Amino acid sequence: MNQKIYKSADEAITDVCDGATIMFGGFGLCGIPENLIAALKKKGTKNLTCISNNAGVSDFGLGLVMANHQIKKMIASYVGENDIFEKQFLSGELEVELCPQGTFSERIRAGGAGIPAFYTATGVGTLVAEGKETKTFDGRVYLMERALKADFAFVKAWKGDSYGNLIYRKTTRNFNPMMATAAKVTIAEVEEIVPLGSLEPDQIHTPGIYVKRLIKGEKYVKRIENKTVAVNP
């Protein structure tokens, strides 16, 4: 069972080649695969298509890979926290597909579940609907949206075992569980690798079948994007 466990992030991503499509878990900087992103930056792989809800900030998260000019195309829902994104997009260096967040998460879920397309009312009558088929069900117009799949998914969990079963903590779950199902090769980084049998089967969020490689993250910065504390009278 231990063949899924890799020694380092570098070792886990050796076959990620130029032009690959990669999904990245995380909402803002919460629940992002910090160690795999750092390894990808170090590797310098180019012309990537990145599927990630956000683009990090200019000096952390996926922003590091973007600042290194490794990304050709981004599929995302909100990129407003990264100045480099805006610069690269407006100058034409970066191709962008913006997708409503619920449609984005469902496209990934569908990709992992063997559903090639689905209908949603989100985006009807907006720029998002351009060039897409529509169909009316029960008097309401819906858009057809295609599933998303990737060559690799980089996901971050709290705990994992040698079979690749994963448990996420609090709001770090976000897009990670769907992405884990929607790539040819899912690489998970965790804070702790626990002995097989110690995770309660009822509590597992991502069953190990989806995870091909597992590493224990070397370190976690867990940068807080917007620290907010209670104002006490």
Partner 1 sequence: MTPLTKEQLVKRIAQEIKSGYVVNLGIGMPTLVANYIPKGVDVVLQSENGILGLGPFPDEQDLDPDLINAGKQTVTVLPGSSFFSSADSFAMIRGGHIDLTVLGAMQVDEKGNLANWMIPGKMVKGMGGAMDLVAGTKRIIVAMQHCDKKTGEKKGPKKMHAPPHRGWSGKLNCQ
Binding residues for partner 1, rule: CB under 8 A, are 27-31, 53, 76-81, 86, 89-90, 96, 98, 100-103, 105-106, 108-109, 120-128, 141, 158, 169-178, 205, 222-232
| Residue 176: CB minimum distance to partner 1, A | 8
In this structure, which amino acid lies at residue 87? K
What is the nearest approach in angstroms of partner 1 to the Cβ of residue 67?
18
Residue 17, SS3 per DSSP: coil
Given the complex with partner 1, which of 16 and 147 has the nearer CB atom?
147
Q: How far is the CB of 79 from partner 1 (least distance, A)?
A: 5
Going from the C-alpha of 57 to that of each of 34, 78, 144, the distances in angstroms are: 13, 12, 32
Nearer to partner 1 (CB atom), residue 19 or residue 220: 220
Measured from the CB atom, the residue of 13 and 76 that comes closer to partner 1 is 76
Between 6 and 175, whose beta carbon lies closer to partner 1?
Answer: 175
How many C-beta atoms lie closer than 10 Å to residue 220's C-beta?
12
Nearest distance from C-beta of residue 31 to partner 1, angstroms: 7
Tell me whether residue 39 or residue 128 sits nearer to partner 1 (CB atom): 128
User: Concatenated DSSP letters for 139-172?
Assistant: TEEEEEEE---EEEEEEEEEEE-TT--EE--GGG
Cβ within 8 Å of residue 22, ≥6 positions away: 16, 40, 48, 49, 50, 51, 150, 151, 152, 153, 154, 183
> CA triplet 103, 24, 190: central angle to 5 degrees?
125
- CB closer to partner 1 out of 15 and 200: 200
Rg of the chain over Cα atoms, rounded to whole angstroms, equals 18
Q: How far is the CB of 218 from partner 1 (least distance, A)?
A: 17
Spatial CA neighbour of 39 closest among 74, 71, 13 = 13
CB of residue 36 to partner 1, shortest distance in Å: 18
